[in-house]
Chain A
Amino acid sequence: MAVTVTPYPRLSLRGLTKRFGETLAVDGLSIEVGAGELVTLLGPSGSGKTTTLLAVAGFVAPDAGEIRVDGRPVSRTAPHRRGIGMVFQEAMLLPHLTVAENVAFPLRMNGVGRTEREAAVGRALDMVRLGKLGARMPDQLSGGQAHRVALARALVKEPRLILLDEPLAALDRQLREEMQAELRALHQRIGAGLLYVTHDQSEALTLSDRIAVIADGKLHQIGTPAEVYDAPADAFVARFMGESNRLGGVVEEIEDDVARIRLGGGLMVEAIAVGVRLGRRCVVSVRPERIALAAVTAEEMGDGALPAVLRDVVHHGDHVRLHLDAGPPGAAVPLVVKRPAGAPLGGLRRGESAAIAWQAHHARAFEPEVGM
């Protein structure tokens, strides 16, 4: 698909702000989406991600800030003149038109000639691998195919930016995974930028080149999936992105960005210090798959190891979750450790003692979240 290449990012948001009455829905958001890049806006319900998307699309007028598409300010431009394609949660195909006619519909409505229209429709359908289904009616398509037609309809005008508003939310798991793979392959082939909105962390991790985590209208972190998952910028991102064990404690020492934290019961652990201060409360966040577990005593395991008791083992098909109580009796804290299904547990059984440990760079110590 021939999208003109420019030196500007496909989308540039600078200080985007939107207020609904007393509620600040979007608070000074600044994000860029490059050519051929898929950026996901990820956040819980009410975080402002859809408002941001609708502001970019032109359906919500921002109170402040700037929206540029290909370097051109578009805040005062009508939605259909912004060079944007949009895919919604539902495919919204016109039931009385064939697949090809549905894809051609925006072009026909805008007076594009038949020859040019047919060529563009062919390209768009090929792009979503539906080139042979142009004559089918929408009721003859599966859910995934209908969404691909909707995607082709968004692509047919060769937009510079494609906005996707939870387009896979209505699909079942298998179809969703197929479409995720399709989207990944597609966005690398086209030069358009893609801004994708979802509240599904695993979808964001699977699809995105970069993830922007937002809550209460504020950008908490933007980075690659690995950065956001492995090096969360604050306690909210650590809590929201995937599963993590959260342990409360007090910072006893900070040296070379590594904090030593005293947990309840006097246990000492180490973690990367992220904005924590000496003598203050903090939350240690460590991913379940980063915790080492052995059926030995903490002393045998070495420095930094904690005693633990295995409380339960829960099988989840592809992985096993081990629920432990870590620390001395009376001050034990619940922890979860994940292991791939079939991985040896060293003969550990429910109710038995074990030792756990993690490397300091696999855990992060944050200031506790306000209100948590």
Chain B
Amino acid sequence: MSEARLSLGERDDGPRITLAGPLDAAGAGAVWTKSIAAASKLRGRTLAVDISGISRCDTAGATLLLDMEAAGGGPLALIGATEEITALIARVRATRMPQPPPAKAPALTWRETIIHGLSAATEGIAFLGETAVALVMLPARMRMFRRQDLWTAADAAGVRAVPLVMLLGVLIGLILAFQSLIPMRRFGADIYVASLVAIGLVRELGPLLAAVILSGRSGSAFAAEIGTMKVNQEVDALTTMGLDPVTMLVLPRVLAGIAVMPALTIVLDFSGLLGMALVLVGDGIPLTAIGNQVAYWVQPSDFYGALAKSAVFGAAVAAIGCRAGLSTGVGPQAVGVSATAAVVGGIVGSIVLDGIFALIFFRLGI
């Protein structure tokens, strides 16, 4: 059986590509690369192709000729084409789909950005409403509320976070004391480092850092747990059975967040004060003097205000994590996306709330 052949030649009227042998799937495949390369070289010139020597031609051969035409960038001048082959090429040409334009990254306009933002805000408010309703309805839905889930979430978010909170607290206290000590010493105000760090820790950094830790450790875990249930249709299954997912999945985690955050804040405050004391004692300031400074400057209202704030942060971080989980979409990355959204949302939410608290406390003179 003869094979397809390709040859290039020059004639008086210009260059010519000659194809011979069977131009079926096997034959066209054998000369495909060379034919396209030859046609590309003739780009901008008349593409004359002599097919008088081909023994048979099917749709694969016709496709090759049309691809040569595309590579040559101009109309094909066929020499020796029978009526059947011309008709075949016309039929194949008619069925060739135009190449789809390359996909462009969707550009987000200002309008779309605003719409997305409003939509997210609306969904967030709706979720807050659902959670509030679930909280009000809790006495009537106690059978759906699993206390075990509350203890489990409190253990994971609170007890197991204590070592990390203590470590970070000590380090933050150390860093703040060191950084404050250098400029304060120039003014002979070393002793005031204690009050500076204590007020900063108790009023602001304690609740805020505890919220960041809760968001990173537990907000993401809540989102991943509920997100996995969502992807596996377990949330849908609970809903069809008449169970309220907010009561069953969200409330235990939100209540755990509210319960553990003040405790974590206290642990972080005391760890931070310990770190600060280590630095100041090393600097030669007596422990009694440090204690007196802290007791004199830190008011009970600072402490209780921070605890109230931390409870709100706990509720926000847990609710944002649960909402991210319940909003999990489909696909292999969905749970990861939800966990990331929970962490980012939890941190941003806590800082925004802290700003609101700062404003309220300022107005109240606390």
A residues adjacent to B (C-beta < 8 A): 54, 57-59, 79-80, 84-86, 88-90, 92, 105-106, 108-111, 153-154, 157, 165, 330, 371
Contact = CB atoms under 8 A, between A and B. Distances in A.
Given A108-B143, A109-B143, A111-B143, A89 B233 contact: yes
**Chain B interface size, under 10 / 10 to 19 / 20 to 34 / 35 or more:** 10 to 19
A165 B240 CA distance: 13
A106 B239 CA distance: 10
A57 B143 contact: no
B41 to A, nearest CB: 34
Given A106-B242, A109-B242, A86 B237 contact: yes
A90 B239 contact: no
Interface string B221-238: 000000000001110110
Nearest to B140: A111
B104 to A, nearest CB: 14
B233 A105 contact: no
A109 B241 contact: yes
Nearest to B237: A92
A80 B143 contact: no
B280 to A, nearest CB: 53
Contact of A59 (B239, B242, B243): B239
B144 interface: yes
A110 B236 CA distance: 16
A90 B241 contact: no
B243 A109 contact: yes
B235 to A, nearest CB: 9
B240 A90 contact: no
Given A109-B143, A109-B144, A111-B143, A153 B241 contact: yes
Interface of B: 56, 97, 143-144, 232-234, 236-237, 239-243
14 contacts: A57-B236, A58-B239, A79-B239, A80-B239, A80-B243, A92-B234, A106-B241, A106-B242, A106-B243, A109-B144, A109-B241, A157-B242, A165-B233, A371-B97
Nearest to A91: B237
Contacts of A85: 240
A88 B242 contact: no
Contact of B233 (A84, A90, A154): A90
Nearest to A150: B237
A369 B81 CA distance: 30
Contact of A86 (B143, B232, B240, B243): B240
Nearest to B233: A88
B149 to A, nearest CB: 12
Contact of B240 (A84, A89, A111, A330): A84
Of all A-B residue pairs in the complex, the 5 with the closest CB atoms, nearest first, are: A106-B241, A80-B242, A86-B240, A110-B242, A88-B233
Nearest to A156: B241
Contacts of B241: 80, 105-106, 109, 153
B108 to A, nearest CB: 14
A88 B236 contact: yes
Contacts of A58: 239
Nearest to B236: A59
A182 B243 CA distance: 28
Given A89-B233, A90-B232, A90-B233, A79 B240 contact: yes
Contacts of A111: 143
Contacts of A54: 236
A84 B237 CA distance: 11
Nearest to B143: A109
A43 B145 CA distance: 40
Given A88-B233, A165-B233, 6 more contacts: A59-B236, A80-B241, A86-B240, A88-B236, A88-B237, A106-B241
A86 B236 contact: yes
Nearest to B243: A109
A193 to B, nearest CB: 16
Contacts of A80: 239-243
A153 B241 CA distance: 9
Of the listed residues B97, B234, B239, the one surrounded by the most CB atoms of chain A closer than 10 A to its CB is B239
A92 B243 contact: no
Contacts of A157: 242
B242 A92 contact: no
Contact of A92 (B97, B143, B232): B232
B144 A92 contact: no
A265 B348 CA distance: 72
A110 B238 CA distance: 12
Contacts of B240: 57, 79-80, 84-86, 154
A179 B32 CA distance: 53
Contacts of B237: 86, 88, 92
Contacts of A92: 232-234, 237
A316 B232 CA distance: 36
B332 to A, nearest CB: 15
Contacts of B233: 88-90, 92, 165
